[in-house]
Amino acid sequence: MSERRFPWRTLFFVSLAVNLLVLGAIGGALGSGARLQRQEPAESVVTRLPGLGGFMAAVPPELRPQVREDLAQSWRETRDLRRAALDARRDAFNAAGAEPYDAAVASAAFERMRSADQAVVGVFHQNMAQALAQMTPQQRAEVLERLRRAPPAAREGVAPIVDGAEAPVRERALTPEQRENLRERIRERRQERRERNQ
């Protein structure tokens, strides 16, 4: 009678197949852009602030004109900071995509990007603090609740500069006619603000 041996070879191939399936699933998920997201408790502090539009939507309507004016003034004052942040972001992505790849250069470029972004975000946070100081405790509580539920700010993409300028993300998806209409509305608003300031 022949003796039955434990099927180690079969067990090895089954284990290898399962491991390859798991690695393939993880690689496919990461390659397709899938992300894991943590559930934040409702009472948590705002860990991801919305952008300017989200903040203005949260501000009570009666305070919006003054807050908008304060933010517009700050926006003009931070033009150089915002340009430096955009340039730093572009440089970081260029360094990360360069061949031959140099991890030290890419790491330094990403550090400069973080510093430049933080400088701009710091000014926005100061503006938020000043705007919140103008509100009653009830208004402040309502604004903070709206901010907790608001989507996070969208980053402008890092697109190449064409003709010396880079269009914001929202403009890139527009038709040329829609883009021109948007630019015309922006010019009209700027003119109205200039007239009010004089």
The answer to whether residue 121 is domain-embedded is yes
List, for residues 165-186, the tens digit of each pLDDT value: 444 444 445 677 777 888 888 8
The answer to whether residue 16 is domain-embedded is no
The answer to whether residue 195 is domain-embedded is no
Write down the pTM of the prediction.
Answer: 0.48
Q: What average pLDDT does the chain have?
A: 76
The answer to whether residue 196 is domain-embedded is no
Q: Phi, psi at residue 62, to the nearest 5°?
A: -70, -20
The answer to whether residue 61 is domain-embedded is yes
CATH code, domain carrying 93? 1.20.120
The answer to whether residue 42 is domain-embedded is no
Here the tokens at position 42 are 């409702």
Q: Which residue, 56, 52, 72, is CA-closest to 156?
A: 52
Enclosing domain of residue 70? 52-156+167-181
What Å distances lie between residue 74 and 47, 60, 68, 121, CA to CA?
A: 23, 20, 10, 12
Count of domains for the chain:
1
Q: Which residue, 190, 161, 174, 172, is CA-closest to 86?
A: 161
The answer to whether residue 187 is domain-embedded is no
List, for residues 88-114, the tens digit of each pLDDT value: 888 888 888 888 888 898 889 889 988
The answer to whether residue 143 is domain-embedded is yes
What Å distances lie between residue 52 and 57, 75, 127, 142, CA to CA?
A: 9, 10, 10, 17
